Amino acid sequence: MIRIFLAFVLLFACPQFARAQGVVSSADPRASAAGQEILRMGGNATDAAMAMMLALTVVEPQSSGIGGGGFLLHHDGRTGLIDTIDGRETAPASASPQLFIGADGKPLPFAEAFPGGRSVGVPGNVALLAKAHGKWGKLPWADLFAPAIRLARDGFVVNAVMARRLQTVAPLWKDFPEARALYWIEGKPATEGATIRNPKLAAFLQRLAAEGPEAFYTGSNAEAISAAVGAAARNATGMTPADIAAYRAKERPAVCSHYRVYTLCGMGPPSSGATTVFQILGMLERFDLAKLGKDNPLSWHLIAQAMRLAYADREIYGADRDFVDVPVAGLLDPAYMRRRSALISMIRAPEKYEAGTPPGARPRTPAVQAEVPGTTHFVAVDGAGSIVSMTSTVEGPFGSQIAVNGYMLNNELTDFTFAPEKDGAPVANRVEPGKRPLSSMAPTIVYDARGKAVFTVGAAGGKTIIMQVAKALIAHLDWGLSAQDSIELGLVYFNADGLALEQGSSAEALKLPLESLGHHVSVGTWALKANAAELTTTGWVGAADPRSPGVALAQ
């Protein structure tokens, strides 16, 4: 735990904030409504966030759910303490560094690796739910399940996003009859406007509500997961009930850093989100971005260079800290970030971006692994000022494509680097039994100069998550944009050739100016979505990305 407040903290728990209205935001209106319902029942931010996670299992199975994992930040509005819970999936005991190496001795293509059993990690979201509820929950455990059970039992309408994702995975599902039984109607993927009922999931959620997390990690559900992974029509592999029973969500210290007058806190390894986001900001701190402004190509020229340098460090140092010495303090060391910032040119972009050597870092072999742009983020703030900011995922659309008891199992193990060695040296993010794969998830909470929580944000979309969050933080903290406008702002990202600008957004206008500054620039599209909340003079206000169907709702 990290105590964020200064001598003023007791003032921030004053009655006017204790009576403040709560707010929730998620990527689906039905999930946001579930969180709102729980707040109105007298639940707190933890209760509301966990109800949203369960509801998303039903209405957004292509992105997240109890068959996956996530990272949770919790800020206590009364004590000022911040905690994090790591619910990232783990590799089973049978997994080896050769898990994603084919018969020819080469890494499998991603399209061959992710469908079926090989890619499934032991799910962590239910254990995360149990730990969070045990520490901070207010309502009874079973109450949190009621909205999700109703949605699964009574049915929900397929939205455009889910319909598109069903079309994307349709060619795979000849090998996955359990998934077809859930989401196909009359032999075809459900279309927008169709109603889906999931009685199998409703029944299982009722059992979880009555029996607690043991109903997930032991007994018939654990046996069903093991059997489904072991008998998958594609990539069958070994995950035993013992692997599932051994899973533990972990409390970890938050990773915090300073940016201008603010303190920012996020998730540590196995997530690379906080370290990479905070490095980007740390390298930019010497530049007056507020004066330059959001419409100035020079602002984005500087941001782009900081982004590329920070991602270069991510690719070499990111991994599960339980297995690999990740130099978190070194990466965020102010002197190291100043040295990295000195590589940023006001005049012209450099030819290449290489990783640095932060203090305490051991020699490391670089290796890059793709991440599928899936996932979801949600935020809950209650009347006492407590905040939960959580990113949750099953990885790609519908995860591994394996359905068990009405929910989808993740394909998170494809976030490991497939090649376990490079140039004869072991890769940090290689597969190992019990290890958690590297992640880009970046739930973040911001504190002002007096230690008061004032902003929270997170995003979905694979490796773009880091830049979506960094962009929103710069937009809000430097350019004074609202939470809503910050997450709506167009994205500047990168690809193998250079910078990439979000098609159809304000970023497209930057193409020619950035090219004149030495960048190779293209225009691209990504599956982006972010959710946020900010403290205003009238209380907390939520924000939801218009790129998704999500909404923010007040209590």
- CA nearest to 324, candidates 368, 277, 361: 361
Q: Which residues contact 338 (CB under 8 A, 6 or more apart)?
A: 286
Tokens 């497939």 label which residue?
418
Same domain, 233 and 306: no
Domain boundary pick from 402, 426, 450 = 426
CA dist 120 and 413 (Å) reads 6
Determine, yes or no, domain membership for 131. yes
Q: Give Cα separations from 475 to 267, 454, 468, 481, 505 (angstroms).
A: 21, 14, 11, 6, 15
Whether 431 contacts 97, CB under 8 Å: yes
Q: Give the pLDDT confidence score for residue 439 in this predicted structure.
A: 96
| Count of structural domains, the chain | 2
- E-assigned strand segments in 221-356: 250-252, 255-259, 262-266
Same domain, 324 and 343: yes
Determine, yes or no, domain membership for 266. yes
Residue 268 is part of which domain span?
252-355+439-554
Determine, yes or no, domain membership for 391. yes
Q: Which of 46, 240, 375, 456 is catalytic?
A: 375
CA dist 125 and 87 (Å) reads 6
Where residue 463 sits, what CATH number does that domain have? Answer: 3.60.20.40
Low-confidence ranges of the chain (pLDDT < 70): 1-20, 366-373
- CA nearest to 69, candidates 153, 134, 129: 129
Determine, yes or no, domain membership for 487. yes
Tokens standing for 463?
Answer: 């490796």
Determine, yes or no, domain membership for 475. yes
Same domain, 159 and 257: no
Same domain, 343 and 470: yes
Same domain, 385 and 329: no
Determine, yes or no, domain membership for 9. no
Same domain, 412 and 320: no
Tokens standing for 516?
Answer: 């004149």
Mutual orientation of helices 273-284 and 297-317 as an angle, nearest 10°?
140
CA dist 373 and 131 (Å) reads 27
Same domain, 56 and 170: yes
Determine, yes or no, domain membership for 265. yes
Q: Give the pLDDT confidence score for residue 374 in this predicted structure.
A: 75
How far from the centroid of its chain's Cα atoms is residue 125's Cα? 12
Residues annotated as binding site? Answer: 88, 415, 439-440, 462
Same domain, 281 and 378: no
Determine, yes or no, domain membership for 432. no
The whole-model pTM stands at: 0.95
Q: Give the pLDDT confidence score for residue 362 in this predicted structure.
A: 86
Same domain, 187 and 290: no
Same domain, 44 and 146: yes
Q: Is residue 375 annotated as part of the catalytic site, yes or no?
A: yes
Residues annotated as binding site for L-glutamate? Answer: 88, 415, 439-440, 462
- SS3 assignment for 273-295: HHHHHHHHHHHHCCCCHHHHCCC
Does residue 92 have a cis bond before it (omega within 30 degrees)? Answer: no
Buried b (16+ CB within 10 A) or exposed e, 6-32: eeebeebbeeebeebebbbbbbbbbbb
Q: Give the pLDDT confidence score for residue 377 in this predicted structure.
A: 98
Q: Give the pLDDT confidence score for residue 368 in this predicted structure.
A: 65
Q: Give the pLDDT confidence score for residue 363 in this predicted structure.
A: 80
Residue 191 is which amino acid? Answer: T
pLDDT in tens, 494-527: 999 999 999 999 999 999 999 999 999 999 999 9
Same domain, 327 and 464: yes
Q: Give the pLDDT confidence score for residue 15 in this predicted structure.
A: 32
**∠ CA(284), CA(290), CA(295), 5° rounding?**
95
Give the 3-state secondary structure of residue 81: strand
Same domain, 285 and 394: no
CB atoms within 10 A of CB 323: 17
